[in-house]
Each structure stands twice: as structure tokens, then as C-alpha cells.
Chains A and B, each alone.
Chain A
Amino acid sequence: MSEDEARVSTRKRVTVPKTYKLYVGGSFARSESGRVVAVADADGTFRANAAKASRKDLRDAVAAARKAFGGWSGASAHNRGQVLFRVAEMLEGTRDRFTSEVAATEGLSATEAERAVDTAVDRMFWYAGWTDKLGVLRGGVGQVSGPYTVHSTPEPVGVVGVVAPRRSSLLGLVSVLAPVLAAGNSAVVLVDTELAVPAVSMCEAMATSDVPGGVVNVLTGDPAELISRLASHSDVDALDPGGADESLRGELEETAAGSVKRVLDAPLVEPDWSTAPGTGRLRAFTELKTVWHPLGE
């Protein structure tokens, strides 16, 4: 060891770097394409080489989401709630780490980042409580004329493709992902590599909660490259284009028309994610099933 090196080592410990991978089917993996993008913190410091997902990764992610959908949507609402509460717990437990990552990623002050993380944890917690109340939100009993009992119940749409917000990393991501999961859907999320650091950490929180593998799939990369594939994939049932650039929206809606995909009526300008959400996203990713049965002696 040279003297210089010895001096450095006393000043600051050399850290073990983290590899930022894609989260598909419950596993962390590099892109099959082998592509990476250098990610820098808001101050320009190099942070990591994040995986840059390819079309094939997207295909795998949709397949994983479809595979996981049956189990997740079939689980009891109570059980899904428990899992999402657990995610909130995990986020809370790693609050400090998220705060520093959000601060670095978004260039926020520690206080601002703290507020964003706290809101994100609370939001996950809020949506977790919705899982077994969707029937109140969207279901009901039809008071029909005639000897029938009629009930309408909410059911998840299926696999939801999400373009994650760009204005807010963790809070934005939680705000769009949690309602998708709470309604019983599985998700394929496209995240811009610039926001990869908190996104991958959130995936770790998912992986270490009880979220079944494949329910959440996060692809870091260049969303513009993958969006139209997501929109045209006929095994994707619904789309949240909220994080897509305005210039892409028309093309996205046009592509999604092909399989009559549900497209969230998301505003062109991203909202302030710290504002309390309504129930619109829960409703948007929920289908309604009405069952009739005669009442006879």
C-alpha cells in the first residue's frame, strides 16, 4: 500500500458498489442485451451503470406479469392488503436510505427528500388499506325490477403497463404502482434510467416483502424506446401513459386502440405527486362484473 493510498483509506472507506439490475419475475437480472447506462446523481457524480432494458426484456416482463396475475388476483383482498402493508413497513424501515437516494437523484434538500419519502410510505400504506374496500368503491347491488339478485363486483383488469413519472422518483413511482397492485393487477413498469436508483431500491423492498415474484416488474431504460411495444402488446390489458412524453401520447393511444386496451386518462402534465390522490386510479384499473341470478321458490 502506498502512502497516498493509506491516507485515502483513513479519510474515507472504499464502498462496495451496488449493481443496478432489472427486476423481472421476482429476480434481479441484467438486461439480456447487456446494455447499461451510466447514472449520475443530480450533482453529476457517477453513481452506477443501470441496466438498459431491451424489447426482449419487456416481453419477458409481460410474460412474468401474466404468470403472476392469477395468483395475485386470486389471493384474498385481505391477503393482498397484508402484503402491501408489509411493503409500507419495508419502505419505512429503509427510510434513511431512500431519503439519501431521492435527495441525490432529484437534487432535493434532505428535508424535501424526507418529505417525499414519508409521503411515499404513507401513500403505499393508504392504498394497502383499499384492497378490501374496492367492493364499496365500485361494486354494489342492483335493485332491479324482477325476481333476481344482482351484484356487481370489481375485478382487476390484468397486466398493467405503467410509464413511471419523471418529476418524482420514489413518490411518483409508488403513487402509480400502488393503486395498480391494490386493485389486484400485476405491473410492468418502465422507469427512466435517470431515476433508476430509488426504483431499484423499491424493487428490493418488494422482493423482501411478500409480493409474489412477477407481480411487479421494473424495467429501467429509455421508456421512449419501449413504450410503443408496451402499448401494442396484446397481453397487456391496460396502460398508464402518465410518465410518457407528451409527444408520444398520440402514438401511444393509437397503438393501444389495436387491442382496445384501457388507457388511463392521465393529464398531459404530471400532477404534483405530494397531493392526496383520489380513487380514480383504483377505478381505472378495475373492471366491473355484474352477476344476475333468479330468485325462485
Chain B
Amino acid sequence: MTEPDANPLEYAPAPESATVAALRERYRPFIDGEFTDGTGAVFSSVNPATGEPLAEITGSAESDVDRAVAAADEAFRRRWAAISGTDRAKYLFRIARLLQERSRELAVLETLDTGKPVRQATEFDLPNAAAWFLHYAGWADKLDHAGFGPSPEPLGVTGQVIPSNFPLLLLAQRVAPALACGSTVVVKPAERTPLTALVFGELCEQAGIPPGTVNILPGDSGTGASLLAHRGVRHAVFTGSTEVGERVRRGLAGRGKRVTSELGGNGVNIVFADAAPEEAVRGVIEGAFFNQGRVRCAGSRLLVEESAAEEFVARLRDSMAELRVGDPMDRNTDVGALGSTAEVERLSELVERGVAEGASRWTVPATLPRRGDFMAPTLLTDVQQSMSVARTEIFGPVLSVLTFRTAREAVTKADNTPYGLAAGVWSEKGSRALWTARGLRTGVVWANTFHRFDPTAPFGGRGESGNGHVGGAAGLEAYLDV
């Protein structure tokens, strides 16, 4: 038998080709069915993994917002709500197909723009975006049967502000039901990640959607604020942090608008001593580090039963050490880049504060790329309920470990937050897992799994995590006058 060599199995870098993304030098606003020269300031979109600019984008000024809302209003009254549900369904179906056909290009573009691992963009973001359109295509001509009574009416023009963590998927989750209901949309993608949304405008063109039905306005938070506050916008949909969400809601108070806010979270994974250990470890890792932890439903807190805590944390550490952090374009990468340098700084400060408050820090022994906005996945143990890391939304690759003694205590600790988005429960005992799920004050509970999404399953928050739902018939409600 041969001697084993020192390093018998390496994962060679398996880089995806950036040319697939078909990057252009300049991207422009999509208004009333065509790409137009915006009148806003020109800005560039930067690849957070390299710090290099990807393209220039013409931003949208007030006049562009006016124009887009007017186009959406016109389309709503004459072209979109007026056509049959069946026809709307076919347009949505066309978009779904186009998303499937161009999924590789869009996945790579999404990776370049966000820093998320290309494998995730390919296997999660894009297929789900297409699935959402496909699901809601089916609803467009079945609204009478959605449970809101006969002939539910659309609200009208919807203004949507989309965040930077899942630019295209979150757009799909919000635009598909709006269009299915007969509303028209004006979308403001995140300033840092507008590229896939703008290519989406091209898909709408290719699908032949009536002009004005979908409008995309790249720009900064000012553009978003003027869009949501615009008199012609009947329904304001904001997705982002709770802090900004509250500000947005305050700004829109008393304007007779419907406001849907999908805000932050401080999700928890509850691991009982009888949990299937390996799957629970994987689930906790997935929960905390999927999309670099930049998920509002991330399981950034781990509550583990005291009697099993030591062994579980040891396993967790071993498995975390295997995470491959680095180039998002490498298909072997598990954890990619964060959204910006500012985010890395914010998270570092948060971790420092946790340590100052008494937590112990451990980070994955990964060699980070020299350039780009990377952060090694971090584990904080000895965390107490009162510490800032256990109270605030993390939105990054930081996992805090707390313990509990009884199921009741676990639920109390998990619920002891103003947020209420998602939680995980790990136990091989069915009745206890479901009892715990019942007790948790969250919109979603993943029992013995984590981060599962499907267009047929409602997903949404409670409390300070916001009031909207995406998915299923529940996802239609926000866009209907019911």
C-alpha cells in the first residue's frame, strides 16, 4: 500500500467565469417600458469581494420618481389591472421562464454585486426567484379563490424598496404577487446592489409586459424615501432594518397609504440534548452563516440545552473550522464577502462589545483574502441574555451561544426579544419540538431544519420584525384591497 501524501485531497479553486455576467459599463433606470437616461447622480456599483467597481449606474432624481410613478399609475389604470387574470398569468410565466433561461448569467452577476458565494446564487437565489414567479403566475387568474372573497381588487401603484442581501430574490418575492394581483410596481433596488434588478427590467421588456407595469429606479436611500412617500404610491413596501423601517413608517404616517414592512430579526436555534447532533450542528451553521449571516431570519443566537452544551459547542467549532471563507466566485466557497467595509466595521465593533461584556470569542481559522470585505465566521460563547449581541440584529457571520435548562426556559429566552421572525428547534422528540414551535413568538419555525423557503409557504415576521408575508395566498393579501 502506498503512503498517504501530506495533502491528499485539495479543493482546487473552481472559479466561475465573470464574463458570464455580461457586465455592461453603464446601467440606467427602467421607466415606462424603456431604459432611459436618469437625471440623478451617477454612482458605481462595487464588487465587495475585490473592492473593484463593476459598472456605472445612472441614479434617479425626483423627476424620475415622478415619471416612474406616473407611468405605473397609467399602466395600472389602463393596461395592467384591466387585462384578464389569465393574461397577467402568462406574463408572469414568461418572466419565470426568462429567469430560468438566464439564471447562470444572473447568478454570476448577483455574486459579483453582492459578494455571496456563486454556488448559493446558482442553487438558491435564482431557482427560487423563478419559482416565485411561477407560483404567482398561477394565482393571477385565481384570485377569487384566494380566500379574500369574490373579485378582490388590487391596491394600485406599489412602491418597493429592496435590500442588498438577496437583490433579485427579494424583488421576485415582492414583485410577483403585486403583479399577479393587478398592481403595478416601482422598484428601488439597494444602492450597492442594483445590477440584477436592472437586468430584470430587460426581462420585463423581453416578456413584453405592458410599459409602466414594472419600473426600476436605481438610487440611494433618498430615492427610496421619495418613492415611498410619493402621492401616487398607494402601497409602500419596505424591506430592511427595523431601525430604518420604523423611520419609514413614521414618515408615511397619516398619508392614507398601506405600509408593509419586512424588517429585522434576531433569530434563534434551540437545540435540545436529544437532537440529532450532526444535523443540528449543520443546521446551526447554516442558520448563522448562510449568505454570510446577512439574512434577516438568520439564527444568530444558539440556545443549547445546558447538559449537552459543552459537547455540542465542541462539535460546532470542529464543523465551523471546515467552512471555506473567501472568493465568492469559487464554487467551493461557503462564506463569501459582506456587503461593505462599513458592515465589517459594524460587526467587528459588535463583537468587541460582546467580548467587553464578558463573551468569549472564537473565529474560524481561515485565511481571508487580503482585499475585499471579508470577516471570518465568529462564535461567541458565555453570552448572556442581557448582552448587546444577544439583543440586537446581527446581520453578519456572528453566532452567540446561550444555554437553557428546560423547554419552558428555552421558549422564554427565545421570545425575550422585540423581534419575531424565525426560529429553529432541534429535538428528536416530536411532541416537544412541536410544543416548542407553538410557544415561540415568531412567524416561522423550522423544526429539525433551518432556512427553508418555498413560494407555497408563507414567510413573515411578528412584532418588530414587521408585518408582511411573502409566499402562498397569504403573500397576496398585502397587494389586495381586502
Contacts and interface: CB of A to CB of B under 8 A. Distances in A.
Complex contact flag A–B (Cβ < 8 Å): yes
Dominant SS at the A interface?
Answer: mixed
A60 interface: no
Interface string B244-278: 01110110111110100101000000000000000
Interface string A127-164: 00000000001101011111010101000010000000
Interface in A11-58: none
Nearest to B263: A260
Contacts of A245: none
Contact of B443 (A251, A262, A287, A293): A287
Contacts of B443: 287-290
A45 to B, nearest CB: 38
A145 B454 contact: yes
Contact of B464 (A254, A259, A283, A290): A259
B458 A142 contact: yes
Contacts of B462: 157, 287
B225 interface: no
Nearest to B128: A145
Contact of A257 (B149, B253, B256): B253
Given A288-B460, A292-B457, A293-B447, A257 B474 contact: no
A224 interface: no
A194 interface: no
A143 B456 contact: yes
B449 A152 contact: no
A148 B456 CA distance: 12
A106 interface: no
Given A142-B456, A152-B472, A290 B149 contact: no
Given A251-B254, A253-B254, A262-B467, A146 B454 contact: yes
Interface residues of B, number: 51
Contact of A150 (B254, B258, B442, B454): B454
A257 B467 CA distance: 11
Contacts of B263: 260
A152 B457 contact: yes
A268 B252 CA distance: 16
B316 interface: no
Contact of A280 (B252, B474, B482): B482
B473 interface: yes
Contacts of B174: none
Interface in B428-481: 433-434, 437, 440, 442-449, 452, 454, 456-460, 462-467, 469, 471-474, 477
B418 interface: yes
Given A152-B472, A289-B442, A291-B437, A142 B253 contact: no
Contacts of A291: 434, 437, 444-447
A254 B446 contact: no
B246 A257 contact: yes
Nearest to B466: A260
A258 B250 CA distance: 8
A96 interface: no
Contact of A290 (B247, B445, B473): B445
Nearest to A142: B457
A163 to B, nearest CB: 15
B463 A237 contact: yes
B249 A257 contact: yes
Contacts, number: 121
B183 to A, nearest CB: 15
Contacts of B445: 289-292
A278 B446 CA distance: 32
A237 B477 CA distance: 20
Contacts of A253: 249, 252-254
A260 B460 contact: no
Contacts of A145: 131, 454
B8 interface: no
B296 to A, nearest CB: 13
Interface in B120-145: 131
B147 interface: yes
Interface in A264-288: 265, 268, 278-280, 283, 287-288
B449 A292 contact: yes
Nearest to A147: B449
B242 interface: yes
Nearest to A257: B249
Contact of A288 (B253, B464, B466, B469): B469
Given A146-B454, A260-B261, A288-B460, A254 B253 contact: yes
Contacts of A262: 467
A143 to B, nearest CB: 5
A249 interface: yes
Contacts of B149: 278-279
B472 A254 contact: no
Contacts of B246: 257-258, 260
Interface centre among B246, B449, B452, B473, by most chain A C-beta atoms within 10 angstroms, is B452
Given A144-B456, A260-B466, A288-B474, A293 B253 contact: no
Interface string B347-374: 0000000000000000000000000000
Contacts of A259: 418, 463-464
A227 to B, nearest CB: 13
Contacts of B148: 279
A62 to B, nearest CB: 16
A224 B179 CA distance: 40
Contacts of A258: 246, 250
A293 B458 contact: no
Given A250-B253, A258-B246, A260-B246, A294 B456 contact: no
B469 A144 contact: no
Contacts of B254: 249-251, 253-254
Interface string A243-255: 0000001111110
Contacts of A146: 452, 454
Interface centre among B258, B445, B464, B472 (most CB of A within 10 A): B472
A91 B246 CA distance: 41
19 contacts: A138-B474, A142-B458, A143-B456, A144-B454, A144-B457, A152-B472, A152-B474, A250-B255, A256-B249, A258-B246, A259-B464, A260-B242, A260-B263, A260-B465, A283-B482, A289-B445, A291-B434, A291-B444, A291-B445
Interface of B: 131, 147-149, 242, 245-247, 249-250, 252-256, 258, 261, 263, 418, 433-434, 437, 440, 442-449, 452, 454, 456-460, 462-467, 469, 471-474, 477, 482
Given A157-B462, A257-B247, 10 more contacts: A148-B452, A150-B454, A150-B457, A253-B254, A254-B253, A265-B258, A278-B482, A287-B443, A289-B437, A292-B449
